[in-house]
Amino acid sequence: MIVTVLLVFSALLFPFMVPAAASVHDNQIATTTPIYQTSNQATTLIIRVPSISLSPSSASVGATVDVSGSNYSTTDTACSLSGSAVGTPSSCIVSGGSLVGSFLVANVPAGSYTVTLTGSPSGDFASSTLAVSGSSNSNGPSISVTITPAAVGTGVQVSGSGFSSSDTSCSLSGTPVSLPTCSVYSGGSLVGSFIVANVSIGSYTITATGTQAGDHASTSFTVSGGMPTITLNPTSGSAGSTVQVSGSGFSLSDTVCSLTGGGALASEACSVSGGAITASFIVANAASGSYLIQVAGNPVGDFAQAVFVIPTTIRVTLTPSAASPSSGFRITISGTGFSPTDSTCSISSPVAVNVDCLIQSGTIVDVAPDDPSAFTVGDVPPGQYLLKVSGNPVGDSAQVVFNVLPTVTTVTTASTSNTGTTVMTTVTSTVTQTVRFPAATSLRLSVSVSSTQVMFTVHLTGTYLGLTGSVPGESIVISTSWGKSGSCVTGSNGSCQVTFIKPASGAYSATAQFVGDLLFAGSTAKISLKT
C-alpha cells in the first residue's frame, strides 16, 4: 500500500532536509525518494508499508493457504511464516520487495488466527488474519481402537477418518504404544495398530498424527492388565510347609483365580482383586524336584508361573536311639537323601564324640568293612537331645532325636552252649560241609534304667570263616524277671535293643537267648544279667 502524505512547510520557519532512504522503523515505514525543502511549497512524501494477503482467508485444517506480500525492503533475501495456525510444510521466497509463500493449516480449533510474514535480514513484517473453520472433514479428525480395555501384550487395531488429504503418512503415539504401524489413505482415512506395552494398569491417551498437515486425533485407552507375574515365598520347602503367593499385572476383568502345581500342592487358596493376586498353598508329600506353580485369572485366562522346589528329603537313623555314656556302644549312623557331592558327615554336639561318617552317592555307608559310620555317646547329662547330622561340603542336614540314658551298673555274663558240636550238616553234591558254633562267639547284655523304662541292649560278635566282628541279622530273645519278654534282630553293628516299662520296685534281671538262624543256624547261647 502506498501512502501519500502532503506536507506544507514554511521556508522561513522550518527549513529542513529529509535524507535519502530514511526509514521509520517503529512503523516499518521507509522513504524511497530524497526530499529537500528551502521555500514554501507543497511536497509529496512516498512511504512504503509491508502488507500481506491470504488466499483463502478462511480455510479448514489441512487446507493449503497461499500468502503474498509487498512493499518489503529490497534488502530482504529470505522470509518466514509464523503463527499457531501455520502448519507444515510451509515455504516462502522473496524477490525485490515482494514475498510469496504457502502453508498447510495446522490442526487447531476453529477460530481466528494471526499469520505473520517476516522478511530477513531487515526484520520488516506484516500480518493478516486467517479464519480456521475446522477439519476438511466436517466432523474433524477422529480415531478409534478395536478393543479397550486390553492387557499387556495384546494387539490393538486403530482406525481413523477426517484427516487432511495432503497427509502422506501418519504415526501413533502414547505410553502404551509399542511396535506401531500407521498408514493414511486418500479421503483422509487412517489405519494402524500397536502392541500394548508393559505398562501399569490404568487409562492412557493414544494419538494419531498425520504428515504433512500435522493434523491429529486422540482417543482414550485403558490397560486392564500388566504383564502377569507371581512371587513365591519361600521358593522351596518340604511337605507340610506353607507357601505364600503374591501376584500383579493380572486383568482388571479377572474376578476369580486358580492355583495349580503339578502334584506339589496339598491344598491351596487364591483370590484376585484389581489385578493383584493373593494366594497360598501347603506343600504336598511329593517327590523331590522342581515344580511349575501357575496362577490363572478368570474369565480372561491370563496367567503367570514360577518354579517351586521340593528338596530331597534327608532321613537319618541312629541305632540304637538311646544309650548311656558308660555303655561303650558305638551308635550307628545311617541315612539317605544327602547331596551326591557330600563325602562325609558330621554332628556338632557334645552328645556325639569320635564321629566317623562317610557318604557315597548321597547315602551314609560304612567307613570300612564291618565298621559302620558311628559315634560314641559323650559324657552329658541324661535327657533327650536333637542332633543335627550335616553332609559335607554341601552343608545339607537332617535332625534326629537321641536319648541319653542314666549311667547304671552293668553286669555281663556269657556262656556258649553246644560249643564245638555239630549243629548243621549240608550235603552239596559230594561235598559235606559242617557248621559248628564258634568258640569265639560272645554275647553281651547290658541294661540302662530311666525313670520309666528299662532297656536291655545285646551285642553279638563272633568268628566265622576266618572273619571276626559284629554279627548282624541274628535273633535275640530277652526274658525278664517280672514276666515280660521281647525280641530283636542284631543290626550291622551286631547290636539290638528291647525296652520294657520299668517295674514298680525291686531288682531287675533278664536272660538273653541267642538262637542262631543265619550264620549259626540251630545254635543257642544264653546269658543272664542281674542288677
For the stretch 490-513, pLDDT in tens is 888 888 888 888 777 666 677 777
H helix or E strand, kind and range, residue 443: strand 442-449
- 399 and 323 within one domain: yes
Task: Enter the pTM of the model.
Answer: 0.36
Looking at the domain assignment, is residue 188 inside a domain?
yes
Average pLDDT of the chain to the nearest whole number:
78
- 199 and 130 within one domain: no
- Cα 229 to Cα 248: distance, rounded to the nearest angstrom: 6
Does 302 score more than 50 pLDDT?
yes
Say which CATH number the domain at 105 has.
Answer: 2.60.40.1930
- 485 and 469 within one domain: yes
Q: List Cα–Cα distances, 96 to 27, 69, 81, in angstroms.
A: 20, 11, 18
Looking at the domain assignment, is residue 38 inside a domain?
yes
Does 148 score more than 70 pLDDT?
yes
Comparing 111-125, 213-227, 295-309, 421-435, the range with the smallest average pLDDT is 421-435
Looking at the domain assignment, is residue 411 inside a domain?
no
Cα torsion through 148, 154, 155, 158, rounded to 10: 20
* Confidence (pLDDT) at 474: 78
- 65 and 42 within one domain: no
Q: What is the largest CA-CA distance in the chain?
A: 173
Are the C-beta atoms of 399 and 347 separated by less than 8 Å? no
Place of cell 514554511: 10
Mean pLDDT of 328-341: 85
Using 50, 70 and 90 to split pLDDT, how confident is the model at 32?
A: very low
- Cα 276 to Cα 111: distance, rounded to the nearest angstrom: 48
**Domain range for residue 267?**
229-310
Looking at the domain assignment, is residue 410 inside a domain?
no
| 36 burial type by CB count under 10 A (0-12 exposed, 13-18 middle, 19+ buried) | exposed
C-alpha grid cell, residue 467: 572273619
- 250 and 221 within one domain: no
Say which CATH number the domain at 350 has.
Answer: 2.60.40
- 327 and 285 within one domain: no
Half-sphere exposure of 284 (CA within 13 A, CB side): 15
The distance of Cα 189 from the centroid of its chain, to the nearest Å, equals 43
Mean pLDDT of 115-119: 94
- 434 and 334 within one domain: no
* Confidence (pLDDT) at 238: 78
- Cα 179 to Cα 169: distance, rounded to the nearest angstrom: 16
* Confidence (pLDDT) at 25: 40
Comparing 73-77, 232-236, 432-436, the range with the smallest average pLDDT is 432-436
* Confidence (pLDDT) at 165: 78
- Cα 266 to Cα 46: distance, rounded to the nearest angstrom: 102
* Confidence (pLDDT) at 175: 94
* Confidence (pLDDT) at 105: 82
Looking at the domain assignment, is residue 414 inside a domain?
no
Looking at the domain assignment, is residue 409 inside a domain?
no
Does 207 score more than 80 pLDDT?
yes
Geometric angle at alpha carbon 447, from 354 and 380, rounded to 5°: 40
Place of cell 512503523: 27
* Confidence (pLDDT) at 258: 95
Does 326 score more than 90 pLDDT?
no
Look at residue 297 and give its three-state secondary structure.
Answer: strand
Are the C-beta atoms of 216 and 208 separated by less than 8 Å? yes
C-alpha grid cell, residue 165: 488429504
Are the C-beta atoms of 216 and 107 separated by less than 8 Å? yes
- 343 and 247 within one domain: no
**235-248 per-position pLDDT tens digit:** 988 778 899 999 98
Does 329 score more than 90 pLDDT?
no
- 432 and 515 within one domain: yes
Using 50, 70 and 90 to split pLDDT, how confident is the model at 464?
A: low
| Phi (first) and psi of residue 4, to 5 degrees | -105, 125
Look at residue 198 and give its three-state secondary structure.
Answer: coil
Per DSSP bridges, beta strands 125-135 and 58-61 are: parallel
User: Bigger pLDDT: 57 or 27?
Assistant: 57
Q: Which residues contact 304 (CB under 8 A, 6 or more apart)?
A: 228, 229, 230, 247, 249, 250, 294, 295
Comparing 30-39, 99-108, 150-159, 305-314, the range with the smallest average pLDDT is 30-39
Per the DSSP assignment, residues forming a β-bridge with 66 are 55, 102
C-alpha grid cell, residue 51: 502488507
**Domain boundary at 76, 100, 135, which?**
135
Cis peptide before 299, with omega less than 30 degrees from 0? yes
Place of cell 566265622: 464
Say which CATH number the domain at 243 has.
Answer: 2.60.40.10
Mean pLDDT of 272-279: 92
Comparing 244-253, 410-419, 493-502, the range with the smallest average pLDDT is 410-419
Tally the domains of the chain: 6
